[in-house]
C-alpha cells in the first residue's frame, strides 16, 4: 500500500528517460550505473505508482507505450527545469555566468548569433553557451522538450501548431549564390529560367526554406530542381560551390558574409517567396533563466545594429 501511495522521484524520472532513449534495460542500467535487476525492480515500482503499463517487452528490447512516452516527455521537462534551477541559483550568486542552450538555423549562424554571443560574453565572461545547429524539424522538438532555451533563426510558419512563442528581430530573404568565376557570375540579366539547367545545393525537403524555394520556382511557371544535393552544412556547401559549378540558396546574412570573403558571388535573382523574418522562438509559458533573458536582450540590440 505504501508503494502505491508513494510519489515519483527524480531517480524514477531519470530511469524512465534512460529506458526510453536506450530502448533496452541492459543499456539503461549501464547508463545509470545500476544493475539490470535494480532497473527492472524500479520500473515495476514506477508502473505501480502510476498504475499504468509503461513499456512493452519485445525480442529487441523495450518499447514505450503511450503512457511511457507521455511520462518520459514530462520527465525530461522536470529534469531540465531542475538543472535550470541550479543554474539560476549559481547565476544569482555570481551574476557573470549562467548557461544558455541555443538552437540555431543557418540564417542566424553567420552574423546575428555570433555577434550577440561575443557581445554578451564581454559582459558575462563566465557564461557557458551551448549551440546546436540544425533545422526546425529537429530544433523545435528539442526546444519543447526543454533541451534548448531558445531557437534563433528563420521563424517557422507553423507557430500555432508547435505551441511556441516567436519574436521577430529582423527580415531576411534567401539569395542564389555561385562560385566567383562561375559562367553565370558576370550576368546581370538573370531569371530563374536561366538557372534551370545547372546543378543545385538546396535545403532538405522538410525545411520551410526549401518549400519557399519550390514556391518561388512555381510562381515563375517552373519546376524546382529535381535532383539537388540536400544539405544545410555550410562547410560542405561551400566546398561544392567553390570546387564545381553548383548553384546554392542561402539566407542573405550567410550570402553577404561569404561574398565578402571573396569566394562566392550573389546572383541577381530575387526569390521573393523566401522573404521571412529571423527571430527568437521559445516555449509557451516558459520562464527563461537570467542568462537567457540577457541573451535575448543582446540579440534584440544586435539585430537593430545590423539592420542599420
Closest CA to 64 of 54, 74, 75, 49: 54
Query: 276 has which bridge partners?
Result: 172
Which range marks the domain in which residue 35 is found? 3-69
Compute the distance between CA of residue 218 and CA of residue 221 in angstroms, rounded to an integer.
Answer: 5
Residue 90 located in a structural domain: no
Q: Taking a C-beta distance cutoff of 8 angstroms, is the pair 46, 8 a contact?
A: yes
Cell digits for 285?
509559458
Angle made by CA atoms 184, 187, 188, in degrees to the nearest 5 = 140
User: What is the pLDDT, as a whole number, of residue 4?
Assistant: 39
Same domain, 109 and 185: no
Compute the distance between CA of residue 242 and CA of residue 221 in angstroms, rounded to an integer.
Answer: 29
Same domain, 7 and 136: no
Residue 29 located in a structural domain: yes
Q: Taking a C-beta distance cutoff of 8 angstroms, is the pair 244, 266 a contact?
A: no
Compute the distance between CA of residue 254 and CA of residue 237 in angstroms, rounded to an integer.
Answer: 12
Residue 91 located in a structural domain: no
Sheet strands (E) in the chain: 55-58, 61-64, 99-104, 128-133, 150-154, 164-172, 174-179, 200-202, 229-230, 247-251, 264-266, 276-283
pLDDT, tens digit, for every residue of 85-117? Answer: 776 666 666 656 678 999 998 878 778 999 999
Same domain, 109 and 233: no
Compute the distance between CA of residue 59 and CA of residue 282 in angstroms, rounded to an integer.
Answer: 40
Same domain, 282 and 163: yes
Share of the chain above pLDDT 70, in %: 92
Same domain, 227 and 249: yes
Same domain, 245 and 286: no
pTM of the predicted protein model: 0.69
Same domain, 132 and 248: no
Compute the distance between CA of residue 273 and CA of residue 275 in angstroms, rounded to an integer.
Answer: 6
Overall number of domains in the chain: 3
Same domain, 180 and 157: no
Widest pairwise Cα distance in the chain? 81
- Residues with Cβ within 8 Å of 152's Cβ and at least 6 positions away in sequence, in order, are 102, 103, 104, 105, 108, 112, 113, 278, 279, 280, 281, 299
Same domain, 212 and 235: yes
CATH of the domain at 182: 3.40.190.290
Compute the distance between CA of residue 273 and CA of residue 211 in angstroms, rounded to an integer.
Answer: 9
Residue 182 located in a structural domain: yes
Same domain, 241 and 204: yes
Q: Taking a C-beta distance cutoff of 8 angstroms, is the pair 101, 148 a contact?
A: yes
User: What is the pLDDT, as a whole number, of residue 229?
Assistant: 92
Sheet strands (E) in 150-238: 150-154, 164-172, 174-179, 200-202, 229-230
User: What is the pLDDT, as a whole number, of residue 92?
Assistant: 61
User: What is the pLDDT, as a whole number, of residue 222?
Assistant: 93
CATH of the domain at 109: 3.40.190.10
User: What is the pLDDT, as a whole number, of residue 152?
Assistant: 94
Compute the distance between CA of residue 212 and CA of residue 169 in angstroms, rounded to an integer.
Answer: 20
User: What is the pLDDT, as a whole number, of residue 116?
Assistant: 94
Residue 81 located in a structural domain: no
Q: Flag residues of the chain having pLDDT under 50.
A: 1-5
Amino acid at each position: 500500500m505504501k508503494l502505491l501511495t508513494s510519489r515519483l522521484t527524480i531517480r524514477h524520472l531519470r530511469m524512465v528517460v534512460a529506458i526510453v532513449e536506450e530502448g533496452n534495460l541492459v543499456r539503461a542500467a549501464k547508463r545509470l550505473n545500476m544493475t539490470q535487476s535494480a532497473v527492472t525492480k524500479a520500473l515495476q515500482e514506477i508502473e505501480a505508482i502510476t498504475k499504468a503499463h509503461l513499456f512493452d517487452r519485445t525480442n529487441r528490447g523495450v518499447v514505450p507505450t503511450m503512457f511511457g512516452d507521455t511520462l518520459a516527455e514530462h520527465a525530461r521537462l522536470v529534469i531540465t527545469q531542475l538543472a535550470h534551477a541550479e543554474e539560476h541559483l549559481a547565476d544569482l550568486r555570481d551574476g557573470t555566468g549562467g548557461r544558455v542552450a541555443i538552437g540555431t538555423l543557418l540564417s542566424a549562424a553567420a552574423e546575428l548569433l555570433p555577434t550577440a554571443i561575443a557581445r554578451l560574453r564581454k559582459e558575462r565572461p563566465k557564461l557557458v553557451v551551448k549551440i546546436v545547429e540544425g533545422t526546425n524539424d529537429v530544433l523545435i522538438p528539442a526546444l519543447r522538450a526543454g533541451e534548448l532555451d531558445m531557437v534563433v533563426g528563420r521563424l517557422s510558419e507553423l507557430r500555432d501548431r508547435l505551441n511556441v512563442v516567436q519574436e521577430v528581430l529582423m527580415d531576411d530573404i534567401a539569395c542564389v549564390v555561385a562560385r566567383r568565376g562561375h559562367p553565370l557570375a558576370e550576368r546581370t540579366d538573370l531569371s530563374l529560367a536561366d538557372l534551370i539547367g545547372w546543378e543545385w545545393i538546396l535545403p532538405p525537403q522538410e525545411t520551410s526554406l526549401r518549400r519557399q524555394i519550390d514556391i518561388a520556382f512555381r510562381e515563375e511557371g517552373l519546376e524546382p530542381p529535381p535532383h539537388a544535393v540536400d544539405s544545410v552544412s555550410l562547410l560542405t556547401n561551400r566546398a561544392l560551390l567553390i570546387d564545381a559549378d553548383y548553384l546554392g540558396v542561402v539566407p542573405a546574412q550567410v550570402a553577404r558574409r561569404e561574398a565578402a570573403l571573396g569566394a562566392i558571388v550573389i546572383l541577381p535573382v530575387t526569390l521573393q517567396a523566401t522573404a521571412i523574418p529571423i527571430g527568437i522562438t521559445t516555449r509557451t509559458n516558459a520562464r527563461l533563466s537570467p542568462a537567457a533573458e540577457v541573451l535575448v536582450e543582446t540579440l534584440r540590440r544586435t539585430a537593430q545594429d545590423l539592420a542599420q
